[in-house]
């Protein structure tokens, strides 16, 4: 009997029961290969207004500094690919924001998973994370065998594409590790060629200053006029680099009720979005990640798209 293997199998079985589409495990430690990449990206000022990326450099690269005593990183994927998408010819939001804010939906599932681990294995200490701490989530997911980081800098899986959220448990339990996934982008440059603002400045390098997701979500100032006519009608986020990726032909619709969109979100025309009231905004985007931009932020972007 191998406790490391048995405990890993138990966690993966429970993760599947909770609705996660994949679960992989790696040993907690310093991400030596990622350090120079992150340093170069930051030195190039490619974080845009995301100044939080400049903080906690050491913790970002080593989860044992974030969770003392950590031995394993359990990476999990949760599908958000919708069965229905917005009407064509309207202002668009990224598919990940169609339903309720993923932070809360997935964190509840992670807490359930931690409870089961403690019930079945014993006193296990650690923390759960959903895009909520200085963790290089895509690097850990790749290290855990769940996929590879594509040329658009998103995690890709041969089985399910890239329309999924990444979450982690960082725990003090020693677990059997999974092998590193290999890169299957090959010579394809579909994402680089399709990016409306040319934000993918080279394979595996995204300049946040040009990224539509950054411009419409993270940037709190007015979108620079240099991007006038270049945002491809995206009012919150952007899915272009994922939509054109050949691996996403394997994406299948999620079955999470909390990710189902408000019907008006799918049907609204440009004229209706332009006349959006604050009251209706809160109705359509109740508990949605779009609340991050707020009503005023979304309207500011819509006005920019109209002009």
Q: Which amino acids are annotated catalytic?
A: 131
Count of C-beta atoms within a 10 Å radius of residue 94: 22
Q: Each residue of 42-70: b (16+ CB within 10 Å) or e? A: eeeebbbeeeebeeeeeebbbbbebbeeb
Burial of 254 (0-12, 13-18, 19+ CB in 10 A): buried
In this structure, are residues 212 and 233 in contact, taking their beta carbons and an 8 Å threshold?
Answer: no
Three-class SS state of 12: helix
Q: What are phi and psi of 235, to 5 degrees?
A: -100, -15
If you count DSSP H runs as helices and E runs as strands, how many of each does the chain have, helices first? 13, 10
**For tokens 């009720």, what's the residue?**
257
**For tokens 């290969």, what's the residue?**
33
Measured CA to CA, the distance from residue 223 to residue 74 in angstroms comes to 38
Query: Which one, of 237, 108, 251, lies nearest residue 167 by Cα?
Result: 108
Q: Where are the beta strands (DSSP E) in 180-281?
A: 200-202, 205-206, 234-236
Measured CA to CA, the distance from residue 170 to residue 108 in angstroms comes to 16
Measured CA to CA, the distance from residue 222 to residue 297 in angstroms comes to 9
Three-class SS state of 85: coil
């Amino acid at each position: 009997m191998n406790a490391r293997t048995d405990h890993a199998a138990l966690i993966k079985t429970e993760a599947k029961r909770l609705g996660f589409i994949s679960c992989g495990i790696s040993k907690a430690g310093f991400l030596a290969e990622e350090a120079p990449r992150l340093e170069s990206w930051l030195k190039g000022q490619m974080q845009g207004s995301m100044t939080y990326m400049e903080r906690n450099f050491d913790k970002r690269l080593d989860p044992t500094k974030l969770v003392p005593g950590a031995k394993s990183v359990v990476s999990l994927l949760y599908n958000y690919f919708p069965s229905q998408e917005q009407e064509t010819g309207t202002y668009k939001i990224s598919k990940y924001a169609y339903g309720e804010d993923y932070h809360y939906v997935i964190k509840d599932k992670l807490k359930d998973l931690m409870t089961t681990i403690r019930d079945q294995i014993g006193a296990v200490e650690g923390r759960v994370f959903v895009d909520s701490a200085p963790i290089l989530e895509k690097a850990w997911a790749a290290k855990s065998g769940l996929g590879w980081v594509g040329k658009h800098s998103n995690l890709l899986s041969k089985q399910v594409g890239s329309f999924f959220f990444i979450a982690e448990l960082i725990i003090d339990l020693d677990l059997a590790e999974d092998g590193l996934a290999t890169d299957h982008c090959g010579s394809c440059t579909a994402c680089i060629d399709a990016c409306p603002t040319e934000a993918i400045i080279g394979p595996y390098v995204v300049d946040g200053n040009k990224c539509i997701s950054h411009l419409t979500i993270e940037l709190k100032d007015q979108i620079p006029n240099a991007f006038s006519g270049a945002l491809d009608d995206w009012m919150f986020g952007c899915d272009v680099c994922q939509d054109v990726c050949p691996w996403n032909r394997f994406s299948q619709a999620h079955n999470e009720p909390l990710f189902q969109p408000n019907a008006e979100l799918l049907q609204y025309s440009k004229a209706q979005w332009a006349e959006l009231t604050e009251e209706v905004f809160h109705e359509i985007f109740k508990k949605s990640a779009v609340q991050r931009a707020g009503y005023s932020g979304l309207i500011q972007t819509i006005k920019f798209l109209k002009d």
